[in-house]
Structure 1
Amino acid sequence: MKKEVPESSGFASRSTRKAVERKKKKRTRSVFVAVVAVMLVCVLGAGYYVFDLQRQFNSKSNSLSLAFSDADQQARPVKDPEDKSMNVLMLGVDHADDDSDGSAALSGAVEQRSDSMMLVHIPEDRSQIYVMSMVRDMYVDIPGHGQNKLNAAVSLGGVPLLMQTVEGMFDTKIDHVAMVDFEGFKELSTALGGVSVENDIPFTANDTDYFYPKGTVALEGDRALRFVRERKSFSNGDYQRVVNQRKFIASAANKLLSSDTLTNPVKLYDIVDTVSPYLTFDEDFDAATLVGLGMQLKNVDTRNMAMFTMPTAGSSVDAQGQSIELASEQAVARIGEALRTDTMAEYLKVNPPESE
């Protein structure tokens, strides 16, 4: 249930003005949210500079209190208590009209699906952020349901089952989960006054008149939403979609963290107010946690994030004739090892991602 916006946000305070002035001296800002999903950038960027916005974010965003089911805790991979690295599962989802609180994904309602999945690894030394996109059609073992597409886990058992699936695949514990309703991309682009990206492949979004030429394209509102969701127009389908999503995220993050936005507290407040209802987190991943993490990551530059797509073993069809992407056992094993040992930098040196 959404709560009312506080009547007084305290933006005119002297401490706020000083905080903004201090942060203008640094271009490399707290960026965790910027990389994984543009919605989280709003929360982290705004919360980092104007702490009063934490209350606004917590009152508007949604919580997944059952993201980590007690019944499944014993079966989860064990993580060394001394290991301070962090793994976050990010989901871009389509909510049913009556599912504003994310309950469908939690309960496993069939109307809910995940169109975008990213696994974010933050090393213990907080020196970098690694964002790995996973194609939704990757054929994997879903506990209790056999082989199926990765995104089928959400419709079969909600977030808990998807957590089990990803943790089982990499034999690695996931520390947090966050979901972004795709409508939030639309609202954010509008709140920012539009976002520009470099488009590599000209296309017309399926069943629309929206044409995106090669080169710089301006995205706002429904045009932005169609850009990040489109896959049928591309020969490589979901691969190009995740590339386009990351381009949108990077561009929107840079605009959000620009001086024009950060020095405008009213605009920051409006962005958080607009976007927060489209965000859902596990109950331990609140604004204060994001702000603290952002402080730890303050020296990481948004322009130099390690963003890549998880390799697969090629395309095929399942028993029902549906197109699938075969999981690469070698890639799964190597990535799992890198996650468990906090050696993702070394993994990418040996296995550099193909140009996207």
Structure 2
Amino acid sequence: MEQTPGQASSRPQSNDDALSDLFEHDAAGGSDGTRRGARNEDKKKRRGPKILLWTLVGILVAAVAGAGIIWWNVNQAFNDVEKIPDALPDYEGRPEPLTTDAGTPMNILLLGSDSRAPGSPSIMTDLGSRSDTMMLVHIPADRSDVQVISIMRDSWLAIPGHGEAKINAALSYGGVPLVVQTVEGLLGQRIDHVAVVDFDGFAGITDALGGVTINNDVAFTSSHKAGHQFAAGPITLNGEEALAFVRERYAFTDGDYQRVRNQQAWVKAVLDKMLTTETLTNPGKVQDIITKFSPYIGVDDTFTLQTMIDLGVSMRDVRGSNIRSFTLPTNGTGMVGDQSVVFLDTVSIAELKKHLAADTVSEYQPTGR
């Protein structure tokens, strides 16, 4: 059929026709007098920011997904840390959590043991009375510092339900829950969490951190690492050296007292290296540390990954200079029957209890030995 002027064609337009039409209009201009090419340039300019925006969104989604995978790995690593069931006792008269205007302090009981049987899957196997390290890590409500209080393993005191004995005996009598109850009775404060560290963990944890630097106040020759000399002053230890350092007591005239001070120095060095922005803001590093820690440590079953993350974030401003260590005051050693024991300084400890109750442990000055 012949097409009359002005009549639209009924023939479907092919792709080639459409392209031809586009180029023709680009050359001739649009019905509004604007060149089609100029309008397309405007559209390209408008598309530019959108492309950039979607590119950034894509990068952000990829980053979030990547971080999600890393944190999933962190969670999996934390799940490998042994959980100690029912470590925190429930008994009549147990101290209530302390609440202050600044929030709630946290008390973590740290136990160290070299009792794991070879090949045993549990850090609690045969723990018995062989816990050689006992420390209370006190973190005030305002998270301004850390107070590490060592308790001598031979401290002579009353153990609930068992009369007077060395505090170490509480592990044999009633396991971790009885140790917690004994320490709570001694200091009048609730223990919020417990961690048990295998002595091999001193080496593993040190290596996980790439070594630690300790200010050694007494030079000595190791009896655990034959012929090795630990110089006085700042020394950097690898894992094997750290294990020998914290276990030594025979090289010192005051035996366990200096060993406790050396263990305090190690804990301070570890906390100092862990409580850094570089570590706390690096999920990959957190995962690596937890993975390397997990074979050597057990925690109570209320200590979750979220607990750890929240605690780390709240302590982001704490540095080595904010960490203080001291030994629960004693009046020296003596004999009870055929047992060599450490007598506690009850007067100075009573003063410490007041500071714990007021959340002012940083102001406490220990006396006694």
TM-score (normalizing by structure 2): 0.72
* Distance in 1 of aligned mates of 2:105 and 2:277: 31
Which residue pairs with 2:23 in the alignment?
Answer: none
- Alignment pair present for 1:103 and 2:103: no
2:137 maps to amino acid: V
* 2:256 pairs with one of 233, 238, 246: 238
Q: Distance in 2 between matches of 1:298 and 1:218?
A: 24
| Cα displacement (A) at 1:190 | 2.5
> Does the Cα contact within 8 Å between 1:64 and 1:102 map onto a contact in 2?
no
Q: Tell me, yes or no, if the aligned pair for 1:93 and 1:180 is still in contact at 8 Å.
A: yes
Bigger Cα displacement from structure 2, 129-138 vs 79-88:
79-88
8 Å CA contact 1:177, 1:281 repeated in 2: yes
TM-score (norm 1): 0.75
Match of 1:307 among 298, 312, 325: 325
1:55 Cα deviation (Å)? 0.7
- The DSSP-based 3-state class of the residue aligned with 2:92 is helix
The alignment partner of 1:103 has SS state of: coil
Residue 263 (structure 2) pairs with residue 214 (structure 1): no
Following TM superposition, by how much is the alpha carbon of 1:236 offset from its aligned partner in structure 2, in angstroms?
1.8
- The answer to whether structure 1 residue 94 and structure 2 residue 114 are counterparts is yes
Higher relative contact order (CA 8 A, sep 6+): 1
Task: Check conservation: 1:94, 1:112, Cα contact below 8 A.
Answer: no
Alignment partner for residue 265 of structure 2, among 242, 247, 263? 247
Secondary structure at 2:153's aligned position in 1?
Answer: coil
Name the Cα RMSD after superposition: 3.1
Q: 1:182 to 1:13 in 2, by over 3 A?
A: farther
Distance 1:110 1:56 in 2: 26
Letter of the 1:342 partner, please give it: D
Matched, 1:202 2:227: no
Structure 1 stretch displaced more, 280-289 or 141-150? 141-150
Partner of 1:189: 206
In the comparison of the two structures, how many residue pairs are matched? 304
Judge conservation of contact 1:89–1:120 (CA < 8 Å) in 2: yes
CA distance in 2, matches of 1:295, 1:256: 12
Label 1:161 to 1:293 Cα distance change in 2 as closer, same or farther (>3 A): same
Q: Which runs of 5+ in 1 are unaligned?
A: 1-11, 20-49
- The Cα shift of 1:340 comes to 2.3
Which letter maps to 2:177? P
The equivalent of 1:22 in structure 2 is: none
Specify whether residues 256 and 337 from structure 1 end up closer, same or farther in structure 2 by C-alpha distance, changes over 3 A only: closer
Does residue 338 in structure 1 map to residue 355 in structure 2? yes
Q: How does 1:223-302 map to 2 (within 5 A)?
A: 223-256=241-274, 268-302=286-320
**Higher alpha-carbon Rg:** 2
Counterpart selection for 2:194 from 173, 177, 185: 177
Structure 2 CA distance, aligned partners of 1:212 and 1:301?
25
CA distance in 1, matches of 2:280, 2:192: 30
1:81 to partner: Cα distance? 6.6
In the alignment, does 2:63 pair up with 1:14?
A: yes
Shift of 1:142: 1.3
Deviation sequence 1:158-190 (CA, Å, 0-9, x none): 101111111111232212211111211111223
Q: Distance in 2 between matches of 1:287 and 1:294?
A: 11
Q: Distance in 1 between matches of 2:231 and 2:256?
A: 19
CA pair 184-126 structure 1, distance change in 2 beyond 3 A: same
Q: Deviations over 1:216-256 (max 9, x none)?
A: 43422322201111122111222211221222233344445
Q: Which residue of 2 aligns with 1:28?
A: none
- Which of 172, 178, 191 does residue 155 from structure 1 map onto? 172
Three-state SS of the structure 1 residue aligned to 2:194 is strand
